[in-house]
Structure formats: structure tokens, C-alpha cells
């Protein structure tokens, strides 16, 4: 109640020891329209399921094509394939042709290997934040103190990852 109607504390659907899976869909149509979010591109996904997505278009043209949507598409493809943006074709049709060539060379897959899931330890802070069943309800709750403690714990975890002890 201290935070009023503008603050909500929630637990993700995964609990201690479980991985949280977040999925999103991104579609770019002719570098004119882009949609990205949790919406699935099906009749059900576009009309009945709960989802959150952002759709954008750009009226600023560069060479007859919307500039920002094209840059978004090129950056997205470059990051997913681990390439510099300069190697991603500027023209959407050229990109489709290039991807078809890569898939054909790789025997039907762009990445011929499966990425292993990261093995991350579950910390006490993680368990406190998840609080899946809501059983740990404090007698009093100071939102700012909770954020401060959480930020300090996250900061120490990040520092431990970035600066591991020497072997």
C-alpha cells in the first residue's frame, strides 16, 4: 500500500530452480511495418490470446524505403546472426536471397548446433524476489528499502560475474 496504485510487486511464472522462458515474435514487412512482442502471428494470437507488442511504421523515406524500419531490420538480423550490420543486405529481397543461400549451405539450418542453456546459480535474492506462493508477507513493507536491498544484491552479483576471483 505504501506505493499506492502505481506500484505492483509480482513474481515471474518461474520459481526457484526453474528457468524463465520469454519468447517474442518480430516481423518486418517490406521494411515498411514492424511488429515485435509476444503476439503470435496466427488468427488466435492476433485476436484472442493475451499479448503485448509494439507495431511501428516510418514515414521518413531514404532511397524510397522507410529508414528506421529498415535500420531496425538490419540491426536485428545482424545481432541474431552475429554479423556486422554492414554485411546485412540493404534491400529486403537481397536479404531473403542471402538467407536462402545460407540455409541451403547449412543443410536446412542457419545454426548447425543447439545453444546450451546457461547454468546460472539460484541465489537467496532470486528466491526472495520470486516468492512464488506469496507466503513471505512482511509485517511492514518499505518499497524504497526493498529496492535498495535488491539493487545492492544485483550489483554485487553483476560485479562477481564481471570480476571473478583469480584461480
**Is 33 exposed, middle or buried, given 0-12, 13-18 or 19+ CB atoms closer than 10 A?**
middle
- Relative to beta strand 61-62, strand 53-57 is unpaired
Q: C-alpha cell of 34?
A: 514492424
- Per-residue burial over 78-102, b = 16 or more CB atoms within 10 Å of its CB, e = otherwise: eeeeeeeeeebebebeebeebeeee
Q: To 10 degrees, what angle do helices 67-81 and 92-105 make?
A: 10
> What is the percent of the chain where pLDDT is above 70?
70
Q: C-alpha cell of 150?
A: 535488491
Residue range 34-59: mean pLDDT, rounded: 81
For residue 22, pLDDT beyond 60: yes
pLDDT of 132 reads 56
For residue 112, pLDDT beyond 80: no
Whole-model pTM: value is 0.51
- If one compares 65 and 12, the residue with the highest pLDDT of the two is 65
Amino acid at each position: 500500500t505504501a506505493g499506492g496504485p502505481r506500484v505492483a510487486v509480482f513474481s515471474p511464472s518461474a520459481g526457484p530452480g526453474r528457468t524463465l522462458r520469454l519468447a517474442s515474435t518480430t516481423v518486418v514487412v517490406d521494411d515498411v511495418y514492424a511488429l515485435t512482442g509476444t503476439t503470435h502471428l496466427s488468427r488466435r494470437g492476433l485476436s484472442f490470446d493475451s499479448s503485448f507488442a509494439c507495431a511501428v511504421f516510418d514515414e521518413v523515406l531514404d532511397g524510397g524505403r522507410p529508414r528506421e524500419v529498415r535500420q531496425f531490420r538490419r540491426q536485428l538480423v545482424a545481432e541474431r546472426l552475429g554479423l556486422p550490420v554492414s554485411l546485412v543486405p540493404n534491400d529486403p529481397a537481397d536479404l531473403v536471397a542471402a538467407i536462402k543461400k545460407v540455409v541451403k549451405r547449412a543443410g536446412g539450418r542457419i545454426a548447425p548446433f543447439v545453444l546450451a542453456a546457461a547454468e546460472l546459480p539460484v541465489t537467496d535474492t532470486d528466491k526472495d524476489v520470486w516468492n512464488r506462493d506469496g507466503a513471505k508477507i512482511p509485517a511492514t513493507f518499505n518499497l524504497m528499502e526493498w529496492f535498495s536491498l535488491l539493487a545492492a544484491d544485483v550489483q554485487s552479483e553483476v560485479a562477481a560475474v564481471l570480476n571473478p576471483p583469480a584461480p
